[in-house]
Structure 1
Amino acid sequence: MTTNTTPQMFSRRAMLQRSAAGFGHLALAGMLAQQANAAPSATSALAAKDPHFTPRARRVIFLFMKGGPSHVDTFDPKPLLQRDDGLKYPYEEPRIKFAETGKLLKSPWKFKQYGQSGLPVSELFPNVAQCVDELCIIRSMHGTNPAHGGALLKLHTGSDVQVRPSMGSWVIYGLGTENQNLPGFITICPTLAHGGVNNWGAAFLPAYCQGTPIGNAAVPSSQAMVKHIRNTHLTTAVQREQLDLLAQMNREHLQMSGPDLALEGRINSFELAFRMQMAMPEAQDVSSESEATKKLYGMDNPVTANFGRQCLMARRFAERGVRFIQVTHSDSEVQWDQHGSLYKGHTKNAAEVDKPIAGLLKDLKSRGLLEDTLVLWGGEFGRTPTAQGKDGRDHNPHGFTMWMAGGGVKRGLAYGSTDDYGYYAQENKVHIHDLHATILALLGMNHEKLTHRYAGRDFRLTDVHGHVVKEIFA
């Protein structure tokens, strides 16, 4: 038998046709290699990272008031609303509204000036009012969605129609964390409604950016804990042996398969969960705090004890290096969503959170933490100055109030304004995208450079929008 060794001749066109799949494979391999080299290794991703520029804040505590507190009844007084109670709103109302409303409804609460700044605060918040010189009150917030679900997603993720990473996840992606034994992003008693886990999810960002929930809004904070934090069947030593064996097997697989961020993320999550068994219960245990501190947060009063414990846990996580902590005030009955019974509902809600919030601000300041901790307060939108039913207010995303404290913002400042009755943001308007860009800037990150490539395009928290509100920087 003879073998024909004469080389087979074919045209350049034929060569390209036959090798197209091979070229495609090489190109794909090159692209994947570039992505793998550009993406952070999940096993080291939790380590603290350098910001883009010098930060004013190192961490965030977000006090989320679910349901939409009324700005015209809390931090944005409107004398003309008081004067014109019962009259028709004199300007054009939004074309698209959540529901129909009637005549103007004055606030049932009085406002009073406080502190050296003289900023007015409603009698709903007598304790927070004592801290008004620490606040930077943004009265010109506005969004786009009048429904809870869309507005919650917009506030938390920057998008009201798509599943996107939450702002806490973006912060961890950009900065990592300062404590390898705790998650970088913790959400205390989060609501499971109106987006639920999507409000603290990582979406297409690496797994380590996911928020870790402690309980939920239906669980008292005294009973809230990370699920499965304790292994009742195996000792710590046996768990360590199992994890070491599993890690060895996974790393052998990685050596053969090449970079796999999903697998590396699982390895990292196993290790973090093991370390959290000791660190998380200790951080949540407030029994070591002094009685004076507990009283400062209102834990001696059944009205304020639940939210007070949440705020105290937030401070304990903050001082342990957790980068982003969210504290949610919500319940299944009242929330801040007063379509009716405004006086009863807002009175109840404010009484539950006022002293704990003031306690948190005072405690952070006394410990030197407020200087580099950005505290953010607010809901997904405000309320209308017009009445819904007899004594309620409807959703209003067109103008509302949020405030910041610490973390490099100006103290004792009211920034922006709504119109004479509080319906629309009017002066120095701040969109949700602007808020996100500003938070990232305070943390030392350029919102236009904090990107992640997914599905063929670069994504960011602010999408293609957002302007940093530098006027509120100290």
Structure 2
Amino acid sequence: MSDPFSQTPPAIRQALLRDLTRRTFFQRAGFGLGGAALGSMMSSDALGAGADPLSRLGLHHAPKAKSVIFIHMVGAPSHLDLFDFKPELQKRSGELCPDEFFAGKKLAFIREQPNLQGTPAEDRFAFKRCGQSGVEISNLLPHLQGVADDLCFIKSLHTEQFNHAPAQLFSLTGFNRFGRPSIGSWVTYGIGSENRNLPGFVVLITGQVLGAGNSAWGSGFLPTVHQGVEFRSQGDPVLYLSDPNGMTRGDRRKVVDAVKDLNGMHLDDVGDPEIATRIAQYEMAYRMQASVPELMEIDSEPESIHEMYGTQPGKTSFANNCLLARRLVERGVRFVQLFDQGWDHHNSVFKNLPNKAKQVDQPIAALIKDLKQRGMLDDTLVVWNAEFGRTPMAQTNNGSGQSTAIGRDHHKEAYTVWMAGGGTKPGHIHGASDELGYNVARDPVHVHDFNATLLHLLGIDHERLTFRYQGRQFRLTDVHGKVVDGVLA
């Protein structure tokens, strides 16, 4: 056999032979195998759920939940006035804040030692023991009171960030700066999707997502096929979904096929997995032209459903998004994230909170009841979440002395979130804050613990779901987090 290097100058020949080391061979082979594996995964997704065992069985153990509806309240609701009633705080309302709650602490806006601020002693703000579980929920949320026995509260969550953008990123990506994959992206990376005609991760927004912006549902360094896809309420639900004027579906198919062939040749040439992602996304977009319009037609729902949710077809509303969330998980979408803006009550909290609570109370309660009556709540995890809580101290923005001028500042030491369904304990409370609602008093839960628990319910071991990037293995929970066994059914 002739020497393939016989015509190569000696210096270049020595350099080539030096580069063809065992390490180089495995690096290059691994890159090619990685691209092939990604292509195989995408082929399995394209064949539907029956060809993708991870979509049914979980990645590391048997799952309790197969989909998530994650409701993020942008700006952070005053949990003390909705879910975590403190009689002692109400009793001492107006007293000067204890030194240990203020001296040396970092607060977003409060600069002078403030007064304690309890929940107003009015019937509409009063707390009621609900259902057989006796869970206390504010009268501002009468519909949610009706499903109290389905809720699992964590009243001892704490975070490390006290400003919105870093706290949102920390809550939703496990890191306080831009560039990491969001929790929905990690989920679809781990267990894929059950619907080949819709994205595995869909985002629905009311208002604007201030702070973190679209990084709250970005894919970071994961393949972009795993990023959240925003569905809009007006115009095309997804940008450029409709065919351009003068172009038929057949014409669009030809364009997609031509682009696919070009991308395929490029993929064969350079082996970049991101090109395979691009091919899959073009195909997904074409299939979505048929699946998304039908999905968005909520006016096809019975009148009784619209009455239960308070939906108004054709308009933008949080209620419409809750109903769409049910329709999405019903069709096999893995992760649906709802963002609702308007909870940043630094001023007039007791004037504004009732209005915001009314906007979300009926739709969220309806979502839980709707999932339950369809037999879907057992394997759908519903999450109420925010980036942090609100201080038990008053933030007064003027000298009027009126209660409506009082707000609550950002609070990271202890706050309340809840989950429903998906393998969580119904009618349960885990953890507690102290008598003034400032620090955790029992069973602390860190944000990393919360995210580890969510992944666990989906059949994912948070320590084993990793992605190698820039020379190290990354995961949603960084190097922290433990599953909160106390909330598992």
Q: Do Structure 1 and Structure 2 share a fold, with TM-score over 0.5?
A: yes
Which has the higher mean CA deviation after the structures are superposed, 196-205 or 98-107? Answer: 98-107
Counterpart Cα distance in 1 of 2:313 and 2:435: 38
Contact 2:209–2:339, Cα closer than 8 Å, also in 1 = no
**Equivalent AA in structure 2 for residue 86 of structure 1:** G
Which residue of structure 2 lines up, in the alignment, with residue 426 of structure 1? 441
* Per-residue deviation, 1:301: 11
List aligned pairs for 1:248-327, cutoff 5 A: 248-255=261-268, 257=269, 259-299=271-311, 306-327=317-338
Q: Distance in 1 between matches of 2:205 and 2:329?
A: 16
1:402 equivalent in alignment to 2:417: yes
Per the TM alignment, residue 168 of structure 1 is displaced from its structure 2 partner at its CA by 0.2
Mapped to 1, the partners of 2:16 and 2:77 lie a distance apart of 66
Indicate conservation of the 8 Å contact 1:69/1:378, yes or no. no
Partner residue in 1 for 2:198: 182
Aligned counterpart for 1:199 among listed residues 184, 204, 216 = 216
Aligned to 1:135: 151
Query: What are the Cα deviations for residues 17-61 of structure 1, in whole angstroms up to 9, with x where unaligned?
Result: 774334375454244245445656463364642421100000000
Q: Are the equivalent residues in 2 in contact too, given 1:45–1:208 (CA < 8 A)?
A: no
Q: Which amino acid aligns with 1:106?
A: G
2:135 corresponds in structure 1 to: 119
Specify the code of the residue in structure 2 equivalent to 1:213.
E
Q: Helix, strand or coil: the match of 2:288?
A: helix
Which residue of 227, 246, 250 corresponds with 2:259?
246
Amino acid at match of 1:170: W
Q: Match for residue 43 of structure 1? A: 42
1:344 Cα deviation after fit: 1.3
Tell me: CA distance 1:224–1:430, structure 2 relative to 1, closer, same or farther (3 Å).
Answer: farther
Is contact 1:298–1:305 with CA below 8 Å preserved after alignment?
no
Aligned residue runs from structure 1 range 341-420, under 5 A: 341-389=348-396, 390-420=405-435
Once the two structures are TM-superposed, the CA of residue 223 in structure 1 deviates from its matched residue by: 5.8
CA distance in 2, matches of 1:17, 1:261: 29
Is residue 88 of structure 2 the alignment partner of residue 80 of structure 1?
yes
Question: Residues 130-188 of structure 1, C-alpha deviation per residue, up to 9 Å, x if partnerless?
Answer: 00000001101110111001011011101112410000000000010000000000000
SS in 2 for 1:467: coil
Counterpart position of 1:98: 108
Cα distance, 1:123 vs structure 2: 1.0
Q: Aligned match of 2:175 in 154, 159, 171? A: 159
Report the Cα distance in structure 1 between the residues aligned to 2:283 and 2:466, rounded to whole angstroms: 27
Report SS of the residue matched to 2:352. Answer: helix
Distance 1:91 1:135 in 2: 35
Conserved 8 A contact 1:299-1:305: no
The root-mean-square deviation of aligned C-alpha atoms, in Å, is 2.4
State the match for 1:213 in structure 2. Answer: 230
Change (3 A) 1:362 1:18: closer
Q: Which runs of 5+ in 1 are unaligned?
A: 1-9, 216-220
Query: 1 CA distance for matches of 2:161 and 2:378?
Result: 33
Corresponding residue number in structure 1 for 2:344:
337
| Structure 1: distance between partners of 2:195 and 2:44 | 12
Is 1:60 the equivalent of 2:68? Answer: yes
Per-residue CA shift, 1:44-87, capped at 9, x if unaligned?
A: 36464242110000000011111000111001110101110111
Which amino acid in 2 is paired with 1:366? Q
* Residue 15 (structure 1) shift: 9.8
Please give the alpha-carbon distance, in whole angstroms, between the structure 1 residues aligned to 2:420 and 2:486: 14
Q: Distance in 2 between matches of 1:463 and 1:276?
A: 34
Give the match for residue 231 of structure 1.
243
145, 160, 171: which one pairs with 1:144? 160
| Residue number among 74, 78, 82 corresponding to 1:70 in the alignment | 78
Summarize deviations over 1:303-358 as a string: whole Å, max 9, x none.
x981111100110001000000011111xxxx111111011111110010000111
One-letter amino acid of the structure 2 residue matched with residue 399 of structure 1: A
Provide the C-alpha distance between the structure 1 equivalents of 2:62 and 2:309, rounded to a whole number of angstroms: 32
Map of 1:107 onto structure 2 = 119
Which of 426, 440, 463 does residue 455 from structure 2 map onto?
Answer: 440
**Does the 8 A contact of 2:312 with 2:320 survive in 1?**
no
Task: Give 2:244's aligned amino acid.
Answer: T
Q: 1:207 and 1:442 mapped to 2: Cα distance?
A: 24
**Conserved? CA contact 2:313–2:320, under 8 Å:** no
Q: Distance in 1 between matches of 2:333 and 2:389?
A: 29
Q: Which has the higher helix share?
A: 2
Q: Distance in 2 between matches of 1:18 and 1:308?
A: 64
CA contact (8 A) 1:42 1:268 kept: no
**Structure 2 length-normalised TM:** 0.87
Tell me the distance in 2 between the aligned counterparts of 1:214 and 1:185.
10
- Answer whether contact 1:57 1:373 (CA < 8 A) is retained: yes
Distance (whole Å) between structure 2 residues aligned to residue 360 and residue 31 of structure 1: 45
Contact 1:57 1:408 (C-alpha < 8 Å) held by counterparts: yes
**1:44 partner letter:** S
User: Percent identity of the aligned residues?
Assistant: 41
CA separation of 1:405 and 1:83: change in aligned 2, threshold 3 A: same
* TM-score when normalising by structure 1: 0.90
